[in-house]
């Protein structure tokens, strides 16, 4: 039995009857990683938000979304909120705006940790510092004292990811978490995701428009377009042998982008061509 | 064409007292040249001073020390004499256009600045075609367009005055990978067609190698490596090597 | 759709604009419209109830309330508008220049504002009127002097937000002159916010003029003025509460009309908002 099972998820805008997500189905086993790829506006974020009950009040989600065989879509708000806090952790897109501009980073991280786990303030501070170090942030004590507007976008993204990982939830839903990061930081963040999965058996849902990143991390992939599921299956299968035209298009574009880089890196046996 | 000599720029440190002279050095002695017709790529992590450098080159800010010469003249003088020959495409397309203006007015603005407003109407249709947009979009507003479309409008606006030098300040970073590929092709074609020189600033290596001839690595305010984009393996600097090794390639 | 077409579509805006225009017209044509002389006293009929010849009754000196209300428009509403207009013009000009030019010009203007803003506005108004002497003209000058600094600062911060936007940077690089940028980008950007600020302040100005009149520094009795009428009615509040109704409602209606109009203007200037409304329809 899968940890998360979604069947025929449909999200509709009640104001103008527009269908944003149409009949999406997928399942996520425990300790696996599902990658959701697609261009902006394809409904990737909306699907996951709908499962977690984080969509706007005028949007209605129908279908079925089960966590451990318990239906989430018709659950009452309070129970859903507890599940969101304890078992899920969502790293939203545009993590830069996830921090309250009025409080320091450190204060918010400690607050989140204390709120969602049973640790004291002192322990929370330690955990937060460790998390920031793992994200390759030099001088984490300084960073904890700063406010959101004083740090660059990339730095804020790393703080948010560090905090999410420090909570050690069962499921992390990461929505485009590495967009503002350069290659080194991006690689480090992805390695950390991998490590955490091995360590804690965490399940990961990773949303991205970059196929390279998804290929690196995910076991299964769901390709979305215009709110519909275009293709769904194992990563090696879909990326090696895409069946649908749109998947082929995404794969080809990505290969073309990488090709020149790989050729430039080729010399003797130093880098794999 | 463009010569940057020994550039220094610092900002006052935030959080210090009112009278504190503590400065944060963002650029520490940057020097490089861009030859005519070349496309130079500048890569660095967020916070390494890339935007500061682009602002200095565009004449929006003044350096503390050092000089920027365009065709032998100081940049500010050159910009006044050669209005419309330098252009820029920014990363954040949502703030790159005035949300109250229609697409037509947005693209026509640089032409109006040069008192060539009358040609605008004729040219805009052509420009939109060049960037692969339908001219039905002329009367629309920015919020009605998708990210990719809006960035294309910014490109159209940038080339409207037939500039000879364009600064692309992380112009592709906010776009989907598939759209990045489209706009990269567009930029390549335009460069050839209009014989332009590019300075491409980014934090993603794969897009850079697609477009640029030379790549400069910027780390903590210094240029640590200069290498040809087809010979990236020649990189010797530690940081540059680390960056190159960490790129996540897509393999089959 | 142009701004005016947008505004016409908004029912609330149309109603507000109609009310304001009507009030202004009545005020301008007060001698024709008013049934009686606003200054004509007749102690015999004081505190009279509403009747055909005195639609709102009479006040404590037997003057026709309706006539006083109508003539009061000239004092209250028109003076407030003049005050607001002058404050906004000065504040906007200085605010945009300070916000766009930055550097020394900005420093100088801001320090002057700082000094002026450190005085509590009521104290400053009293001081200015005290120096210049009582009278309506001086009240207006005092109001303008105390408020322009606040507007300058507000508008300056709005402008600074805009100058950080990439489209302003692009215009600079493209070689657009400073005046062009201010005209095409900055002014339209801040006009919406100014409209809202200004209309909200109109109520404040109206009340300010009345307060000064009450203290004997502004309008001198027996000139009709709404705030003054409210204050006079206050003295007989327990016996004849209805006397407060007419001026009270008048102030309420006109201030509400301005507030709603301000909101509608801001909405009409925002293209995104219009699109959403159109979609929903």
pLDDT tens-digit map of A63-95: 988 888 888 888 888 888 888 877 888 887 776
CA distance A112 to A266: 46
- DSSP state, residue A75: -
pLDDT above 70 coverage of chain A, percent: 96
CA distance B89 to C170: 8
Is A15 an 8 Å CB contact of chain C? yes
Is A42 an 8 Å CB contact of chain B? no
Average pLDDT of chain B, as a whole number = 83
Point out which residues pair with C202 in neighbouring strands: none
Chains touching chain C through at least 3 C-beta pairs below 8 angstroms are A, B
Is C280 an 8 Å CB contact of chain A? yes
- DSSP state, residue B67: E
Specify if B251 maps to a domain: no
Cis peptide before C222 (omega within 30 of 0): yes
CA distance B24 to B12: 6
Looking at CA atoms only, how far is residue B84 from chain C in angstroms? 5
- DSSP state, residue B207: H
Average the pLDDT over A122-139 and give the result: 84
Residue pairs spanning A and C at CB distance below 8 A: 3
pLDDT > 60? residue A192: yes
Q: What local confidence, expressed as pLDDT, does residue C169 receive?
A: 86
CB-based contact A261 B247, cutoff 8 Å = yes
* Residue A205 banded pLDDT, cuts 50, 70, 90: very high
CA distance A48 to A36: 10
Substitution target from C1, C103, C162, C175 for chain B, most B beta carbons within 10 A: C175
Query: Phi/psi zone of residue A250: left (φ > 0), alpha (ψ -120 to 50 degrees), beta?
Result: alpha
Length of chain B: 252
Please check whether residue C115 is in contact with residue C148, taking contact to mean a CB–CB distance below 8 angstroms.
Answer: no
* Residue A269 banded pLDDT, cuts 50, 70, 90: very low
Find, among C156, C178, C177, the residue nearest to C99 by Cα.
C156
Give the rounded distance of the alpha carbon of C4 from its chain centre.
21
Find, among A100, A98, A11, the residue nearest to A58 by Cα.
A11
CA distance C47 to C242: 10
pLDDT digits over C3-35, tens only? 677 777 788 888 988 998 998 898 888 888 888
Chain C 48-77, residues with CB within 8 Å of chain A CB atoms: none
Cα angle, residue A176 at apex, residues B179 and A251 outer, rounded to 5° = 45
Please check whether residue A232 is in contact with residue A243, taking contact to mean a CB–CB distance below 8 angstroms.
Answer: no
DSSP, collapsed to helix, strand or coil, labels residue C39 as coil
CA distance A166 to B182: 38
Looking at CA atoms only, how far is residue B206 from chain A in angstroms? 6
Please check whether residue B127 is in contact with residue B186, taking contact to mean a CB–CB distance below 8 angstroms.
Answer: no
Average the pLDDT over B107-125 and give the result: 82
List residues in chain C touching B: CB distance below 8 A.
165-167, 169-177, 180, 184-185, 188-189, 269, 271-272, 275
List, in sequence order, the alpha helices (H) in A201-271.
Answer: 211-217, 235-240, 245-265
Please check whether residue B128 is in contact with residue B156, taking contact to mean a CB–CB distance below 8 angstroms.
Answer: yes
Q: Residue C257 to residues A255, C123, C143: CA-CA distances in angstroms?
A: 62, 29, 22
Q: What local confidence, expressed as pLDDT, does residue A268 receive?
A: 44
List, in sequence order, the alpha helices (H) in A44-200.
Answer: 44-51, 77-86, 105-116, 121-134, 140-145, 153-166, 183-200
For residue A153, give both structure tokens. 């976008």
CA distance B76 to A38: 44
pLDDT > 50? residue A248: yes
* Strand A18-28, strand A171-175: pairing: unpaired
Segments in chain C below pLDDT 70? 1-3, 269-281
pLDDT > 90? residue A221: yes
Domain containing B200 equals: 2-246
Find, among B173, B214, B208, B170, the residue nearest to B188 by Cα.
B208
How many separate helices (H) and strands (E) can be counted in chain C? 14, 0
CA distance A238 to A255: 14
pLDDT > 90? residue A35: yes
| B249 vs A40, A212, A251: nearest CB | A212
Q: What local confidence, expressed as pLDDT, does residue A267 receive?
A: 58
pLDDT > 70? residue A115: yes
Q: What local confidence, expressed as pLDDT, does residue A220 receive?
A: 93
Give C-chain residues touching A15 at CB under 8 angstroms: 280
| Beta strand spans in chain B (E) | 2-12, 23-34, 39-44, 65-70, 73-74, 86-89, 165-169, 197-202, 214-219, 222-228
CB-based contact C171 B161, cutoff 8 Å = no
Looking at CA atoms only, how far is residue A19 from chain C in angstroms? 15
Please check whether residue C155 is in contact with residue C92, taking contact to mean a CB–CB distance below 8 angstroms.
Answer: yes
Specify if B84 maps to a domain: yes
Is A240 an 8 Å CB contact of chain B? yes
Give A-chain residues touching B44 at CB under 8 angstroms: 182
CB-based contact A212 B248, cutoff 8 Å = yes
Q: Residue B11: CB partners within 8 Å, gap ≥ 6? A: B23, B24, B26
| B47 vs A152, A184, A250: nearest CB | A152
Q: What local confidence, expressed as pLDDT, does residue C260 receive?
A: 85
Looking at CA atoms only, how far is residue B48 from chain A in angstroms? 10
pLDDT digits over B159-188, tens only? 888 888 899 988 887 787 778 888 888 888
For residue B227, give both structure tokens. 């290498």
* Residue B127 banded pLDDT, cuts 50, 70, 90: confident
CB-based contact C174 B143, cutoff 8 Å = no
CA distance C251 to B20: 52
What's the number of domains chain B is made of? 1
pLDDT > 90? residue A34: yes
| A250 vs B147, B178, B231: nearest CB | B178
CA distance A29 to C268: 51
CB-based contact C174 B87, cutoff 8 Å = yes
- DSSP state, residue C43: G
* Strand B39-44, strand B197-202: pairing: parallel
| B252 vs A153, A184, A240: nearest CB | A240
Residue pairs spanning A and B at CB distance below 8 A: 124
Specify if B252 maps to a domain: no
Q: Residue C91: CB partners within 8 Å, gap ≥ 6? A: C147, C148, C149, C150, C151, C152, C154, C155
CA distance C58 to C42: 9
Q: What local confidence, expressed as pLDDT, does residue A33 receive?
A: 92
* Strand B65-70, strand B2-12: pairing: antiparallel
Query: Which chain A residue is nearest to residue B231, measuring alpha carbons?
Result: A264
* Residue A222 banded pLDDT, cuts 50, 70, 90: very high
Cα angle, residue A228 at apex, residues A227 and A232 outer, rounded to 5° = 130
CB-based contact B248 A216, cutoff 8 Å = yes
Provide the Cα torsion C234, C239, C244, C245; round to 10°.
160
Is A17 an 8 Å CB contact of chain C? no
Q: What local confidence, expressed as pLDDT, does residue C271 receive?
A: 63
Predicted structure pTM score = 0.74
Q: What local confidence, expressed as pLDDT, does residue C264 receive?
A: 81
Please check whether residue B156 is in contact with residue B187, taking contact to mean a CB–CB distance below 8 angstroms.
Answer: no
Question: Using a CB cutoff of 8 Å and minimum separation of 24, what contacts does C138-143 make?
Answer: C139/C79, C139/C209, C139/C212, C139/C217, C139/C218, C139/C219, C140/C79, C140/C82, C140/C83, C140/C86, C142/C212, C143/C83, C143/C87, C143/C205, C143/C208, C143/C209
Q: Residue B9 — φ and ψ, nearest 5°?
A: -150, 135
Looking at CA atoms only, how far is residue B88 from chain C in angstroms? 7
Specify if B17 maps to a domain: yes
CATH topology of domain C3-280: MetI-like fold (1.10.3720)
CB-based contact C171 B96, cutoff 8 Å = no
Average the pLDDT over B224-245 and give the result: 83
Domain CATH for B204: 3.40.50.300
* Residue B99 banded pLDDT, cuts 50, 70, 90: confident
CB-based contact B206 A258, cutoff 8 Å = yes
List, in sequence order, the alpha helices (H) in C63-120.
Answer: 65-73, 79-101, 103-117
């Amino acid at each position: 039995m899968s940890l998360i099972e979604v069947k025929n998820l449909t999200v509709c805008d009640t104001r103008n009857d527009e269908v944003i997500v149409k009949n999406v189905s997928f399942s996520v086993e425990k300790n696996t990683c599902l990658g959701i790829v697609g261009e902006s506006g394809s409904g990737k974020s909306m699907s996951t938000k709908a499962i977690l009950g984080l969509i706007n009040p005028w949007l209605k989600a129908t279908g079925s979304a089960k966590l451990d065989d318990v239906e989430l879509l018709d659950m009452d708000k309070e129970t859903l909120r507890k599940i969101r806090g304890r078992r899920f952790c969502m790293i939203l897109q545009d993590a830069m705006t996830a921090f309250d501009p009025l409080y320091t980073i450190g204060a918010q991280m400690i607050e989140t940790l204390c709120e969602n786990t049973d640790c004291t303030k002192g322990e929370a501070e330690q955990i937060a510092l460790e998390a920031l170090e793992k994200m390759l942030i030099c001088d984490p004590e300084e960073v904890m004292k700063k406010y959101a507007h004083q740090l660059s976008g990339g730095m804020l993204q790393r703080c948010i990811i560090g905090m999410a990982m420090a909570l050690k939830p069962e499921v992390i839903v990461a929505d485009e978490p590495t967009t503002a990061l350069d290659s080194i930081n991006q690689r480090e963040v992805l390695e950390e995701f991998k490590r955490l999965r091995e360590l804690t058996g965490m399940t990961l849902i990773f949303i991205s428009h970059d196929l390279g990143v998804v290929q690196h991390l995910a076991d299964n992939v769901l390709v979305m377009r215009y709110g519909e599921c275009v293709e769904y299956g194992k990563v090696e299968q879909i990326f090696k042998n895409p069946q649908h035209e749109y998947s082929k298009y995404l794969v080809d574009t990505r290969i073309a982008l990488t090709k020149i880089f790989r050729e430039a890196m080729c010399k003797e046996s130093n880098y794999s061509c | 064409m463009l010569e940057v000599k020994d550039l220094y720029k610092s900002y006052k440190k935030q959080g210090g007292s009112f009278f504190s002279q503590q400065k944060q050095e963002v650029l520490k002695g940057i020097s490089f040249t861009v030859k005519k017709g070349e496309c130079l790529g500048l890569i660095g992590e967020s916070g390494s001073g890339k935007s500061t450098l682009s602002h200095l080159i565009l004449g929006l800010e003044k350096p503390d020390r050092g000089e920027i010469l365009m065709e032998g003249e100081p940049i500010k003088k050159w910009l006044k004499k050669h209005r419309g020959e330098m252009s820029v495409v920014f990363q954040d397309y949502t703030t790159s256009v005035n949300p109250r203006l229609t697409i037509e007015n947005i693209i026509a603005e640089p032409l109006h600045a040069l008192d060539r407003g009358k040609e605008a109407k004729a040219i805009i249709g052509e420009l939109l075609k060049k960037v692969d947009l339908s001219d039905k979009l002329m009367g629309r507003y920015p919020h009605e367009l998708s990210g990719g479309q809006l960035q294309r409008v910014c490109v159209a606006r940038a080339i409207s005055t037939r500039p000879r030098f364009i600064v692309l300040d992380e112009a592709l970073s906010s776009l989907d990978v598939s759209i990045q590929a489209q706009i990269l092709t567009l930029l390549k074609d335009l460069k050839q067609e209009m014989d332009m020189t590019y300075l491409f600033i980014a934090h993603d290596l794969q897009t850079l190698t697609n477009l640029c001839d030379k790549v400069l690595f910027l780390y903590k305010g210094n240029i640590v490596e200069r290498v040809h984009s087809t010979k990236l393996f020649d990189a010797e600097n530690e940081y540059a090597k680390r960056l190159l090794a960490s790129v996540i390639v897509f393999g089959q | 759709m142009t701004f005016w077409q947008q505004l016409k579509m908004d029912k609330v805006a149309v109603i507000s604009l109609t009310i304001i225009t009507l009030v202004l017209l009545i005020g301008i044509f007060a001698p024709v419209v008013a049934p009686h002389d606003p200054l004509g006293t007749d102690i015999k009929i004081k505190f009279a109830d509403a009747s055909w010849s005195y639609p709102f009754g009479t006040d404590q000196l037997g003057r026709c309330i309706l006539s006083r209300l109508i003539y009061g428009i000239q004092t209250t509403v028109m003076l407030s508008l003049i005050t607001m207009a002058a404050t906004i013009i000065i504040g906007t000009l200085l605010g945009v220049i300070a916000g766009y030019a930055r550097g020394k010009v900005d420093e100088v203007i801001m320090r002057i504002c700082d000094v002026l803003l450190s005085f509590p506005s009521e104290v400053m108004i009293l001081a200015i009127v005290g120096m210049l002497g009582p009278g309506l003209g001086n009240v207006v000058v005092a109001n303008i002097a105390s408020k322009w600094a606040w507007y300058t600062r507000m508008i300056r911060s709005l402008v600074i937000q805009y100058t950080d936007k990439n489209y302003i940077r692009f215009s600079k690089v493209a070689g657009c002159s400073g005046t062009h940028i201010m005209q095409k980008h900055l002014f339209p950007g801040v006009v919406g916010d100014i409209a809202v600020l200004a209309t909200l302040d109109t109520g404040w100005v109206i009340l300010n003029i009345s307060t000064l009149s009450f203290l004997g520094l502004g309008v001198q009795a027996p000139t009709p003025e709404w705030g003054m009428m409210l204050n006079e009615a206050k003295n007989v509040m327990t016996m004849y509460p209805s006397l407060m109704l007419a001026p009270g409602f008048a102030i309420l209606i006109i201030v509400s009309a301005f507030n709603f109009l301000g909101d509608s203007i801001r909405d009409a200037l925002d293209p995104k908002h219009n699109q959403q409304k159109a979609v929903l329809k």
